[in-house]
Amino acid sequence: MHLYSVVLFLHIVVVLLAFGLSSSLHAGEWGGHRATTVAELRVYRRTARLEPLFPLFTVLLFVLGAWLVHLSHGSWEYGDAWVSASIAALVVLLVVGGAVLAPRSKVAGAALAAAPEGPIDPALRAVLNDRISWQMGHLNTGMAIAVIYLMTSKPGAAGSIVALIIGAAAGFAIGTVGASKQSAVQPSMTAI
Ligand code: HEM
């Protein structure tokens, strides 16, 4: 077996781990409105404590991707639009994750940890349904899906940029819809 295939396998394993974690986080976000007690909400949000793994996944994706570029002996180069665009996308993922999502998630986690057992206080719901977290979290996922298109189709500069913009915009739009739905169900849930 070629080393290239092994490194590609590891690269894809990290992709699966990262998407597995983000799917679980999104499932907790989208399902959280069904929770009527703080204990239930803690179950929906239980994988949030694994969020600090995202920077590690990002670094691993870069290291393994760069190794693949090296092992390809010139088939792929950093000058290729799909490679440089995916590196730029990784930087965006890191910055959004570290500067926007992580601090908000810390606040939400602390509020949930401090909440007394029983029905969910509207103020706690408001902290957990933070619109920017919804929008930017989904933006990151959409952009990461667009990077998969870059990896598999290897488009030129225009195609790479358009794909990343479409992925990010679609993610942002889905996050906006999700945040609005949560706020819409909030009053009825708290009335139960
Ligand atoms: C969010 C970040 C990333 C994701 C989700 C991702 C995903 C993937 C996937 C799914 C493949 C398999 C494609 C296929 O076999 O057709 C792949 C291959 C590859 N990736 Fe990435 N990747 C990411 C970042 C990077 C970065 C930053 C680099 C370069 C520094 C890179 C370099 C490569 C290379 C060279 C291949 C092999 C392409 C081939 O053999 O056809 N990746 N990536």
SS (H, E, C) 24-48: HHHHHHHHHHHCCEHHHHHHHCHHH
| Cβ(11) – ligand 1 distance below 6 Å | yes
HSE-CB at 6 with a 13 A cutoff on CA atoms is: 3
pLDDT digits (tens, 9 = 90+) for 8-54: 999 999 999 999 999 999 999 999 888 999 999 999 999 999 999 99
User: Would the pLDDT of 165 be above 80?
Assistant: yes
Terminal CA-to-CA distance of the chain, rounded, Å? Answer: 60
89 Cβ partners below 8 Å, 6+ apart?
143, 144, 146, 147, 150, 164
Nearest CA to ligand 1 atom 43: 151
Within a 10 A sphere around the Cβ of 133, how many other Cβ atoms?
21
Residue 188 is predicted with a pLDDT of 43
**32 near 125, Cβ under 8 Å?**
no
| Cβ(92) – ligand 1 distance below 6 Å | no
What would the two tokens of residue 5 be? 């295939």
User: Would the pLDDT of 57 be above 90?
Assistant: yes
Residue 191 is predicted with a pLDDT of 38
Q: Please give the number of the atom of ligand 1 that sits closest to the Cα of 144.
A: 1
Candidate from 21-35, 138-152, 155-169 with smallest mean pLDDT: 21-35
| Cβ(145) – ligand 1 distance below 6 Å | no
Scanning the chain, the segments in alpha helix (DSSP H) are 3-31, 38-44, 53-71, 81-95, 102-114, 122-128, 131-153, 157-191
Residue 186 is predicted with a pLDDT of 54
When pLDDT is averaged across residues 118-136 and rounded to a whole number, the result is: 94
pLDDT digits (tens, 9 = 90+) for 60-99: 999 999 999 999 999 999 999 999 999 999 999 999 999 9
**18 near 144, Cβ under 8 Å?**
yes
When pLDDT is averaged across residues 103-108 and rounded to a whole number, the result is: 96
Q: Report the C-alpha dihedral over residues 145, 146, 152, 158, rounded to 10 degrees.
A: 180
Residue 1 is predicted with a pLDDT of 67
Q: What is the pTM of this model?
A: 0.92
Residue 181 is predicted with a pLDDT of 86
